[in-house]
Structure 1
Amino acid sequence: MDRVLQKRKWTTKKLLTIGGVTALVVLIGASYYFTSGNSKLNVETDRITISEVQKGTFQETTPVNGIVLPENSIYLDAMEGGRVEERYVEDGTIMKAGQPILRLSNTDLELSLVNQETSVFNLLTQMQIAQNAAQQNTVSKLNQMTDVDNTLKEAERIYLLDKHLYEQKAIGLQEFKQAENTYNYNLQKKELTKRILSQDSVSTKQGVEQARQLYNGSQNALQLTRKKVGDLVVRAPVDGQLTSLDAEIGQNKKQGERLGQIDVLTGYKVRVDVDEHYLSRIITGLKGTFSFADSNYNLQIKKVYTQVTNNRFQVDMEFIGKAPKGIRRGQTLQILLALSDAKQAVLLPRGGFFQQTGGNWIFKVNESGTMAYKVDMQLGSQNQDYFEVMQGLKPGDKVITSSYENYGNIQELVLKK
């Protein structure tokens, strides 16, 4: 007898077909989910840095390096060129003003001194000879004046006597006129002699004055030459420490060539290199801080050198108060230079994110800490620790501040613990 077979509803073939269709639907759904909307990336939280935006005191600063220098330095230049003959001290010696440092020799200058001294001696001799001749000439003129005066007195006596006798008709007119003519002649001769003596006196004075001026000029030239020879011995201009001495025995030095310097040990300053980006903002009076021997010290700018070299310019800073004990010339200090006054601001900790975003956006973490989304923001000034947030973030927001180098164009981060 035939038996009726019951038809099976779930065959293997049907099950496989349904499974395949379901998998295809799931695949299509997943593909749609992950390709539609924002791109996502799974990130482990222990490999990133999450920072909190906060409100606090902010001051714009920039780190700079400075070199400790003496407050004042006097450069030693060769006043006259010459060959180095002797070195009396070594580099680093504490000097007193006027103490000799080294001696140069210059045969041309020394020969010039000898010639100048000979010239002055000859000029002095000639001036003395001229003065003696002038004195003798004056004495001779005075003797002539005495003779003329005596002759005039005798002629006057005879003239007055003959005039009286002529009036008494004791002598003739001829004899009287002869006496009168003789008197008038000697009177004119005396006036002429007086004039000659006066002119001779003026001429003598002029000659003496000219000789004196010429002699004084030669003496000044001699003193100048002596000073130049004296400058061949280089001396310390002030009390201080001799540094950077560059002169060896036998070495030739040109006039004006740098020989070394004297550092005045009354105090120190710090010469700081600053990026040219800050040139318009750096003024005298700006302050800076640095750490030395576990203590903090303050500086302020006292001079700005506006010349830019290799994209940097220099400023001199002075210590506010005493310089740190134990600080030395040439020592390098790491200084935090303040570019603004302290103020209250929204602060974002610095981090590697800035390299990829330029400060225009950042990944902000949601309240549950499971996702991070791109948000736009605007940053202002910065210091070594924080950026000043102008807009886009508020205190309490949590953001990812580590590097975004591996994120590419990802819009959202899925945070995995």
Structure 2
Amino acid sequence: MDRVIEKKTWTFKRILTIAGITAIALLIGASYYFTAGKSRLNVDTERITISEVKKGPFQVTIPINGIVLPQTSIYLDAQEGGRVEQKFVEDGTVMQEGQPILRLSNPDLELSLANQETSVFNVLTQMQIARNNAQQNTVSRLNQMAEVDNALKEAERLYNLNKKLIAQKVIGSQEYLQAENAYQYQVRRKKLTEDIMRQDSATNKIQLQQQEQSYLNMKKALDLMKKKVGDLVVKAPIGGQLTSFDAEIGQNISAGTRLGQIDAATGFKIRADIDEHYISNVFTGLTAKFTFANKEYKLKIKKVYTQVVSNRFQVDMEFVGEVPQGIRRGQTLQILLALSDETEAILVPKGGFYQTTGGNWIFKVSEDGKTAYRVDIQLNRQNPDYYEVMEGLKPGDKVVTSSYENYGNMEILVLKKE
């Protein structure tokens, strides 16, 4: 009789088949996990910069370069041209006001001075002669007037006497008329003499005034010529240090040539160049700071030069409080200029990530520190050290701030230490 053989459920072949199917499924699942999920990249933590987001004081500042200049400078220009005959001091000398610096020679100018002095002397001599002539003429006219007065009195006496005598019929009418005519003549003569004296006096006065004005004009010209000759000796207009002085014995200097400058010992100011992009945000009263010899000093904008040259404009700044010891004219300082008031803000340190993300997202480190993932953020203002965070991050968060140039489209960074 035939015996029924029971068929085994789990044969070796069946188990092997199921194992193969399972392996294929796992492989497909793993492939899906690694390809269809978020892209990952292993990153060495030693080669990236991880920074902490914090809340603190924030101020919009820009770095600028400033040049140290004296508070007051007076340029030395040659008022007259000439040949350098003598140098009294050298560049860098501390000068007193009025102290000679150099002497020029100009024979033509000195000859003109001599001719002008001669002309003034001649005018003065002519004026004295005219005054003497006027005085003599006045004396002569006064003598003439005295004679006229005397003749008039005598004619008047005879006329009055004959008037009485003719009334008494002692003399004839002919004699009386002669006396009357003589009297009338002397009256007219006195009036004419008085008119002549007034005219002579007015004429002499006008002539003397004209001559005196001419003399004064020539005297002014002489004083001006003396000043021009005096300007051949160049003197310090104020007390201070002589700088940029470059003149040699025998050198011919033209009028208006810049000889140097005097820097007054009244302190320093800072002149800075700023990009024209900020011209609407810069005004007098803004503050700035810089570090010198490991100590911080403050500045304030005193003057803004609105003229733009080569895409830049200039400002003058003065020290607020203490002035650093040891700074020198022409020295360059690295300055931070504040464009806003200080406020509290959430801050993320600046880094190379911004060039890739434009500030729209950043890699935020997970709480366990093993990965960093993309998060959307919104940044606002910035200064040389920080960006102001408006959305997406909070104080205490840690983010990757170094460059993302080699990360491509990765969404997760796996942080590992090699």
Kindly tell me: are residues 366 and 84 of structure 1, through their superposed partners in 2, closer, same or farther at Cα, counting changes over 3 Å?
same
CA distance in 2 between counterparts of 1:302 and 1:333 reads 17
- Between the two proteins, what is the percent identity of the paired residues? 67
Q: Give the equivalent residue in structure 2 for 1:333.
A: 333
Instruction: Please list, as runs of the form range in 1=range in 2, the aligned pairs for 1:304-383 lying within 5 A after superposition.
Output: 304-383=304-383
Q: Where does residue 411 of structure 1 map in the other structure?
A: 411
Deviations 1:210-243 (A, max 9, x none): 1111111111111111111111211111111111
Q: Which residue identity is paired with 1:225?
A: M
* Partner residue in 2 for 1:3: none
Indicate if the aligned counterparts of 2:297 and 2:322 stay in contact, CA closer than 8 A: no
- Please report how far the alpha carbon of residue 101 of structure 1 lies from its aligned counterpart in structure 2 after TM superposition: 0.7
* In 2, Cα distance between equivalents of 1:15 and 1:268: 92
For residues 93-119 of structure 1, the C-alpha deviation after alignment (integer angstroms, 9 at most, x for no partner) is 011100011122333332322222122
The Cα RMSD (Å) is 2.4
3-state SS of 1:266 partner: coil
8 Å contact kept, 2:92–2:241: yes
Q: What's 2:291 paired with?
A: 291
Separation in 2, partners of 1:286, 1:93:
36
Is contact 2:78–2:258 with CA below 8 Å preserved after alignment? yes
Q: Counterpart of 1:5?
A: none
State the secondary structure of the residue aligned to 1:373. Answer: strand
Aligned length: 405
**Distance change in 2, residues 1:26/1:111 (3 Å):** farther
User: C-alpha separation between the residues in 2 aligned to 1:397 and 1:268?
Assistant: 46
Partner of 1:57: 57
Q: What displacement does 1:137 show? A: 1.9
1:86 equivalent in alignment to 2:89: no
Tell me which amino acid in the other structure corresponds to 2:376.
D
Aligned to 1:246: 246
User: Secondary structure of 1:250's partner?
Assistant: coil
3-state SS of 2:134 partner? helix
Measured in 1, the distance between the counterparts of 2:232 and 2:59 equals: 55
- Alpha-carbon contact 2:244-2:260 (below 8 Å) kept: yes
Bigger Cα displacement from structure 2, 298-307 vs 194-203: 298-307
Deviations 1:275-334 (A, max 9, x none): 222222222222222222232222222222222223322222222223122332222222
Identify the range of structure 1 (38-47 vs 119-128) with the bigger mean alpha-carbon deviation: 38-47
> Match for residue 6 of structure 2?
none
Distance (whole Å) between structure 1 residues aligned to residue 38 and residue 82 of structure 2 = 81
Structure 2 unaligned spans of 5+: 1-10
- Any conservation in 1 of the 2:347–2:388 contact (CA below 8 Å)? yes
More off after superposition, 68-77 vs 211-220: 68-77
Is there any run of 5+ residues in structure 1 with no aligned partner, and where?
Answer: 1-8
Cα distance in structure 2, aligned partners of 1:52 and 1:321: 35
Question: Residue type of the partner of 1:195?
Answer: D
Query: Closer, same or farther in 2 for the Cα pair 1:24/1:256, shift >3 Å?
Result: farther
- In the alignment, is residue 147 of structure 1 matched against residue 147 of structure 2? yes
**1: CA distance, partners of 2:351 / 2:106:** 66
Correspondence list, 1:47-196, <5 A = 47-196=47-196
The worse-fitting range, judged by mean Cα deviation, of 159-168 and 41-50 is 159-168
User: 1:34 offset after TM fit, Å?
Assistant: 4.1
Matched residue of 2:403: which SS?
A: coil
Q: CA deviation at 1:92?
A: 0.6
2:388 paired with 1:392: no
Counterpart of 2:7 in structure 1 is none
TM-score (norm 2): 0.89
Moved over 3 A (4+): 21-35
| Partner Cα distance (1:395, 1:337) in 2 | 27
